[in-house]
Structure 1
Amino acid sequence: AVVVFLPAGDRLHPQALELINRKLTEQPGIDFIYGDSSHRGASRFEDASIVRRPGWSPERLRSHNYIGEFVAVRARVAALAGGATMLSRLHSHDRNLRLSEASKRAHRISEVLHLSTQQRIEPTASLVAVQEHCQRTGINADCSLDLQVAAVRVQRHVSRKPKISVILPTRGTVQTIRGQSVVMAAHALTSLRSTCNYPKLEIIAVLDKETPDESRSQIVSSGGPALKVVEYDQEFNFAEKVNLGVVNSDGDYLLLLNDDTEFISSDTIETLMGLLEDPEVAMSGPMLLYEDGLIQSAGHILNPIPYDLYRHRSPQHVGAQNLLRVQREVSGVIAACVLIKRSAFMEVGGLCTLFPSNYNDVDFGLKLRDAGYRIIWTPHAQMYHFESKTRSPKLQPFEVAHIGKRWRDALDDDPYFNPNLERYMSIWKENVVGHKSLEDALGPTAPIASK
C-alpha cells in the first residue's frame, strides 16, 4: 500500500501514479518518492514554471522543503512516522522530515508528478520542525531562520577540536591583489592566521625548488611557528604536491588551501568542521568568490562536463529554489579550500596524479562518492579565490580525455543534477526556450549577510 500526500486544491499529473507504481515495483527497496512539479501562472496566457529537483539530499532537506509538497511513501513509512492522519495535519517541511527519518531509501522521479500554482513554487521551511528533527536524530546544532528567504541554517556544534593539517602547495608566485604586489602564499597564510580562531592548526607548505628566496622568507614569516616546509623538486603536479603535503602531516582533518585564497570570516573552519560531524560526510567546501565579489563556485555540477554552479553570477542571486542560500549535497567542490576527513582522503588514495593541473578535485569528489560518502557545499562560509593568479588556467587535452574515460557514466548521471535541465550550462535552468526559465534559474536578488 502507498500513502500519497497532496495539498488541497493541487492535482496529480495524469501519469503520476503509474510512474510511482512502476518505480516501486521495479525497485522494492524504494519507500519514499518525490518528483518535479509544474506551477501554472496567474493567467492562462502565462507560461507555467517547472520545478526540477535534485536527487536525495538530506542536508538540503534540513535547510528547506526542497522536495516539495507532494510525496508518496509506502504505508509502513507513514505508520512509522506517526500515521497518515497525524502527518496530514503537519507543516509539509515537518512531515517530510519525519518521513525521511522513517524511510530507508528515498528516490526522485525526474518527471512532473504534481500540478500546482505559482503561490506554491518556492520551498517552504519550518524552524521548529528542523529543531525537533535535530533533537530526534541526535544532531547537536543551533538552528536559525534566514532573514531573506524561507530557509533554516543548521549550524552543528563541533564536538571536539582535533588537529587540522593545512596543506598549501606553492611556488612563491608574486601577483597583484587589490592594487598591491604580494607573495600569494604569504598573503593566504596571513589571512588564515589573522582571520581564523581555530586553535589546533599545523601548516604544511609544499614549495617548488624554484621558489624565490624572498618568497620563501615571507612564507616562513607568515606561517609562524606552526609552519613546516616540504620541498618539491619535480615537474609541476598539483595533485602530487597535495599528496606529499598530506604524508608529511598528522592532523585528523586536512584543509586543502590554494595559495591564491583569502579568508573572509573567523568561523570558516568551524563551519566546515561542523558539517563533518555527520559520519557520512567526508568533505565540505565554502562558497568561493572572485576578487570582484562575483561567484566563482557554488559547488560542482556535472552537466555532463564539470561546471562550477553560478560562476560569474552575483552572490545577491538566490538561485533556483533558493539553492544558493542553503547548504546541500554536491558531487564535488573546488579544492582551493576544502576540509576533508583524513581517514577518507587515505581510503580513496588522495588526489590522482594523472590530473596534474585540472580535474583532480572533480576526480577526488567522484572517488569519495563512489566510496559511499557525501560532500556538502555551504554558503555560510565564504572565501576569496583569486583563481589562476599563480598558474595558467588552460585545460590540458589529456586531462579532459582522462576524466571522460575514467568517469564517463558518472559525469552523465550527477544525482544532484536533473536530466531535464539545460546541458552545458552552469546554472539550474530548465531546458526550454524563453526568458522565464532564466528568471526562474537566477531567482530574485536578496542581500547576503556580511560574514
Structure 2
Amino acid sequence: EEPARMPPQLYVDDGLGFNEVSAVRLPRPEQGKLCVELRLPPIVLALRLDPTDREGRFHLSRVTMRELGKLRMGLRFAAPIAKELARRPEEIPAAARRVWSIFREGGVRGLKGALVERSRRIGPVRYAAWIEEFDTLREADRAAIAARIAGMVSRPRISVLMPVFNTPEKWLRRAIQSVREQLYPEWELCIADDASTRPHVRRVLETAAASDPRIKVTFRKVNGHISAASNSTLETATGDYIALLDHDDELAPHALYMLAEEIAEHPDADVIYSDEDKIDAAGERYEPHFKPEWNPDLFDSQNYLGHLSCIRSSLVHELGGFREGCEGSQDYDLLLRATARSLPARIRHVPHVLYHWRSVHGSTAAATANKRYAVEAALKALRDRHPGCAVSEGPFPTTYRVAHPLPARPPLVTLIIPTRDGFALLERAVRSIQQQTTYPHFEFLIVDNQSTEPRALQYMEELQRSGQARVIRYDAPFNFSAINNFGAREARGELVGLVNNDIQVIDPDWLSEMVSHAIRPEIGAVGCKLLYPDDTIQHAGVILGLFGVGGHVFKQLPRDAPGYFARAQLTQNLSACTAACLVLRKSVYEEVGGFDEENLRIGFNDVDFCMKIAKAGYRNLYAPRAVLYHHESASRGYEDTPEKQERFRTEVEYMKQKWGGALERDPAYSPNLSLESLQMEIAWPPRAPKRWKSA
C-alpha cells in the first residue's frame, strides 16, 4: 500500500542552510489554490517549496508574498477562534471572561501571545483532512478487522456501562447506535436509567433492549445520581472488562476491537485507555487529544485517561465499584484507585481515536463550569489518593496540583555551578539564588574550568573566603559531562542540583518545589520551567526524537501559555529535562554512573543521563511551578563553527546508535504528534501502527 503523501513544505534558509528545523508544513491546496500566513525569521536568505515528498507532477503558476499589517494579522489569528465560537455559542461568555482576564494580566502583549498560541493549537494541518487521510475505515480496513477477529483465539467480553438521565433523544440514540455498530461482536451494553423524567428515555431504552439481547436496561425507581446509576450498570455486567460510555457520546466503530487486540497482546492488562476527540451537534470532530503512555504525575494533574477507559471487571469489583460522594468525577476517582492498585506495565494505552466526546450545551465537554461539582469531586478523589499532600486546582479548568510535602528537616542540596570567567553571569546567578530562594538548606559548589578573568577569579575567592561557597578547580578542556561528574563527587548534599551559570532565579519557591519531588523514592531527575529574558518558554521538558535526538517542547510560547492540553503548565513525567537546572538525589546520580564524559562531552549528555535514569526504573519529572530565567548559551555561545558542528554530528550519531528506536518512541509523547514541531502538532503521517494491517 502506497504511504500517504506529505503536504507541501516550505523550507527557510536563515543562514544555516535548508533544514527540517526551519521547515514549515503547509496545508493541502483547496481548488488548486494555497493561501497561508507565515511568521518568517528576521534573516531569510532563500526559500524552497517542496510540493510533495516523492516524484510526481504538479502545476505552479504564480507565487506572491506580501507583508501583513498588525491589525490584519490579528484578525487572521482570531478568525479560526471566532469560527469555533460561532459553532458553539454557549462558550462565548466563558471566552469573553478569559479574554478580559488575559488583558487585565498581560495587556495587549498578553492577548497577542494567547492568540498566537491558540492558532498554533489549531495547527496548520487541519484535523478534518487528517481524519479523512488516516482515521477513516475503508472497506478493506473493515474486512481486515473482521479477519483478525475471526482469528482470535480468545475473545474477551467487554461490558459497556452507560448510566442515563434525561438524555436528549437524538444523542441517546446515537450513543446506543455507536455500540451496535461495533465491528467487534463480544460486547454487552449495560444501561441504567436514573429515574429520568422525560418520557422518551424509557421508550428509546425499551426499544433498544428489545432489538438486541446484548443490551441490558435497568430502570431505577429513585434518582441516585451518577455514581449510584453507574453501580446499577455494573450489577448487570458479566464481561471480562468494563468500558465507560457517557450517555450522549459515541464510540468509533473499531473501538472495542482495538481494546480486544490490546487485551489479547497483554492479557494481564488492568486498565486500558485510548485517544479521544470532541464532536459537536453537527457531527464535526475537533480537538483531538493524543495522549502519552502511562504518566502517573500527569494523571494527578488532569484526568488525561478520560475516554475511552476500560478496566478489568474483577478489579472494579475488588475496589467496590463507583464511590458515592465523587459524583461528576466518579470515573476519575475509579481510575485513580484502579491505577494505584495496578502496576505500570498493566496500564495500557491504545494510540487511536476511539471515543468522540459530545460537545453540546450543558455537557462537560462544552463547558466545564457547567459542572462545578465535578471539580470538587476530583479534588476529593485526589486528596483521598494522596493523603498528606496539599491538593488544589491547577492553572486551567479541570487541572490540579498535588503538592508533596518537605520533611521537617529538609535535606542538604549541593548546587553545582560550572563556570569559566563570566563574572557578570556567575555573580547574577549566585546573588539571585541567595536573595530569592526560600529553601533553607543548600550549599554552593562552584567548579571553575580554567578561568583567567581577574574579576571572576577575585569573586570566586571572595565567595570561598567568606564561606558562601566552595570553589574547586577543573583544570582541563571544557567537558560539561566531566565537570558535573567532578562536582557531584565533591558534593556533600543528599541531593545535587545542576545549575548553569547563566541561570537567574525569579520564583522564590523553585528549589522547594524541585526538592519536594526529587526526594520521592520513585522519582529520578526533576527539571523546571526555564524562560528566555523576554518571558517566553526556553524549556518545558525534552521530547525524545524531536528533530532527531530530542528537542525542547513548547519553545518560545508565552510564559503562561497552556500548550497542548495544558501540558506546558502541568507537573508530569517526561523522559528527559535539560541539565541547565536539574535536581536529583546523589544516590541516583551515582547509581547510573553520572554523565557520559567520553562520548557526550557537550551535547545531549543530559538526554542520555535522563534516559539512563529512566532505564534504571525511576520516573523523571517536569515541575513547571519552578520557574527561572535562562540566558541560554550566554557563557559558551552557539554551535557556529565547523569544529562545533562536527562534534555535534558525532554526538547525534552516538545517541542514535546507543538508543536506537527509543528516540522515536517517547512514552511521554504520542505517535500521533509530530517529531518536526515543538508545539505538539498533528503528525502527518501518524506513527501509530494499525494492528489489522500488521498481520
TM-score by length of 1: 0.88
2:429 aligned counterpart, secondary structure = helix
Structure 2 residue matching 1:426: 3-state secondary structure: coil
State the alpha-carbon separation in 2 of the partners of residues 14 and 132 from structure 1. 32
Q: Which structure has more strand as a fraction of its residues?
A: 1
Q: Which runs of 5+ in 1 are unaligned?
A: 175-182, 434-451
The residue number in structure 2 matching 1:185 is 426
Distance 1:48 1:225 in 2: 59
* Aligned twin of 1:146: 394
Distance 1:20 1:47 in 2: 21
Contact in 2 for aligned 1:3/1:84 (Cα 8 Å): no
How far apart in 2 are the matches of 1:26 and 1:70? 18
> Is the Cα–Cα contact under 8 Å of residues 239 and 360 in structure 1 kept in the other structure?
yes
Matched, 1:214 2:455: yes
**Partners of 1:209 and 1:276 in 2: how far apart?**
32
Partner of 1:281: 523
Which letter maps to 1:202?
A: E
1:292 maps to 2:544: no
The letter for the 2-side match of 1:418 is S
Structure 2 SS opposite 1:414: coil
Distance 1:199 1:191, change over 3 A: same
- Identity fraction in percent: 27
By how many angstroms is 1:289 displaced? 0.3
In the alignment, residue 344 of structure 1 is paired with which amino acid? V
Give the Å deviation of 1:256: 0.4
Letter in 2 for 1:391: R
**Could you report, residue by residue, the CA deviation over 1:347-368 in whole angstroms, capped at 9, with x for unpaired residues?**
0001111211110110011001
Structure 2 CA distance for partners of 1:118 and 1:403, relative to 1, 3 Å: farther
In the aligned structure 2, how far is the partner of 1:342 from the partner of 1:292? 34
The aligned counterpart of 2:207 is none
Q: Do the aligned partners of 1:88 and 1:95 also contact (CA within 8 Å) in 2?
A: no
CA RMSD of aligned residues (A): 2.3
Q: What is the deviation of 1:84? A: 5.4
1:340 match:
584
Shift of 1:14: 1.2
C-alpha contact (below 8 Å) 2:326/2:380 kept by paired residues:
no
What is the letter of the counterpart of residue 528 of structure 2? P
- Structure 1 residue 194, shift from structure 2 partner: 0.7
Partner in structure 2 of residue 79 of structure 1 = 317
Contact in 1 for aligned 2:301/2:394 (Cα 8 Å): no
Aligned to 2:613: 368
For 1:53 and 1:273, the matched residues in 2 are separated by: 27
The whole-number CA distance in structure 1 between the counterparts of 2:524 and 2:367 is 27
Asked whether the 8 Å contact 1:2–1:74 carries over to 2, the reply is yes
Q: Distance in 2 between matches of 1:96 and 1:231?
A: 52
Q: CA–CA distance in 1 between the matches of 2:480 and 2:264?
A: 47
SS, match of residue 420 in structure 1: coil
Displacement of 1:133 = 3.6
Instruction: Write out aligned runs for 1:60-209 (5 A).
Output: 60-83=298-321, 91=329, 92-104=331-343, 105-118=346-359, 126-138=375-387, 140-146=388-394, 148-159=396-407, 160-174=409-423, 183-209=424-450
- Say whether the 8 Å CA contact 1:307–1:425 is kept in structure 2: no
Offset of residue 293 of structure 1? 0.8
**Correspondent of 1:315 among 537, 559, 573:** 559
Number of positions where the alignment pairs a residue of Structure 1 with one of Structure 2: 423
How far residue 118 of structure 1 moved from its aligned partner, in angstroms, is 3.9
In 2, distance between residues paired with 1:269 and 1:382? 10
| C-alpha distance in 1 between matches for 2:684 and 2:332 | 29
Structure number with larger C-alpha Rg: 2
What does 1:322-401 align with in structure 2 at a 5 Å threshold? 322-353=566-597, 354-394=599-639, 396-401=648-653
Cα deviation for residue 137 of structure 1 reads 4.6
**Which residue in the other structure is 1:417 paired with?**
669
**Residues 285, 356 of structure 2: 8 Å contact kept:** no
The structure where helix makes up a greater share of residues is 2
Report if aligned partners of 1:276, 1:341 keep a CA contact under 8 Å in 2.
yes
What amino acid is the match of 2:263?
L
Q: 1:332-382 CA distances to partner (integer Å, 9 max, x unpaired)?
A: 111111111111100000111121111011001100111111011022110
8 Å contact kept, 2:536–2:558: yes
What letter matches 1:129 in structure 2? A
Question: The residue matched to 1:361 in structure 2 has which SS?
Answer: helix
Query: Which range moves more in the overlay, 124-133 or 250-259?
Result: 124-133
